[in-house]
Amino acid sequence: MDTYKNNILILFAHPALQKSRVNRRLITYVRDIEGITFHDLYEAYPDLHINIKREQDLLVKHDIIVLHHPIFWFSTPAIIKEWFDLVLVHGWAFGREGNALKGKKLLSVISTGGRESLYQKNGFHKHTIGDFLLPIKQTARVCKMDYLPPFVVHGTHTLTPEEISRYGEVYRDIITAFRDDEIDLEKVRGYSLINIHPEEIIIHKENR
């Protein structure tokens, strides 16, 4: 059985996946990667009755947590908030004795119908996409996790099939590189988005 440098958990949430043209494609690039645990929250909990112990056990067993979801009204789908409220409890995830997630990395993978130009200080939304992710970033900080720059897919309504495929390929390459510990974290932290220059953050074995 293969062993990998990092165990990765992808927590996926989309309340209307059958209507999705982007996320439904994106997940096909990562859900069957060896060494990756793909966990569809709406599929696991259609009634929103989250198994807290199961979720906590999954978090403990993985080094990198990927939170993959579309942006709905500048926030997460409802089950993500429910998951935060129930799973990340005081004394376990945060607080003086809450060190279960300490040192783990958290990566947001998100999609939005809005073009990148709309998510600027001088754009229509008057905030960057990073501003809308601040609650997740702060949650990671309080839980003593390392929050990484997000993977963002903008303009989902107008993307061509070829463009969606390209996003999927980059997503797969980044997740695989994280699994194999082939990501240059110093370079990653210099970007606002992790998928801006994927060729610069992935350390190829021949360059080690």
Give the DSSP per-residue string, 63-114. Answer: SEEEEEEE-BTTB--HHHHHHHHHHS-BTTTBSTT--TTTT-EEEEEEE-SS
Task: Look up residue 183 and give its DSSP letter.
Answer: B
Span 13-60, pLDDT tens digits? 999 988 899 999 999 999 999 999 999 999 999 999 999 999 999 999
Question: Can you tell me the distance from the alpha carbon of 34 to that of 17, in angstroms, rounded to the nearest whole number?
Answer: 23
Residues of the chain with pLDDT under 70: 1-2, 117-118, 123, 125, 205-208
Look at residue 172 in the predicted model and tell me its pLDDT: 98
Tokens found for residue 137: 């970033």
Amino acid at 7: N
Burial class (CB in 10 A: 0-12, 13-18, 19+), 173: middle
What integer pLDDT is reported at residue 131 of this predicted model? 79
pLDDT for res 201: 96
* C-alpha distance across the termini of the chain, in Å: 25
At residue 120, the pLDDT reads 77
Q: Is 111 helix (H, G, I), strand (E, B) or coil?
A: strand
Residue 1 pLDDT: 40
Q: State the CATH architecture for 8-207.
A: 3-Layer(aba) Sandwich (3.40)
- The rounded radius of gyration (Å) of the Cα atoms in the chain is 17
Domain residue spans of the chain: 8-207
Chain CA centroid to CA 120, Å: 21
Distance CA 150, CA 54 (A): 26
pLDDT for the residue 136: 96
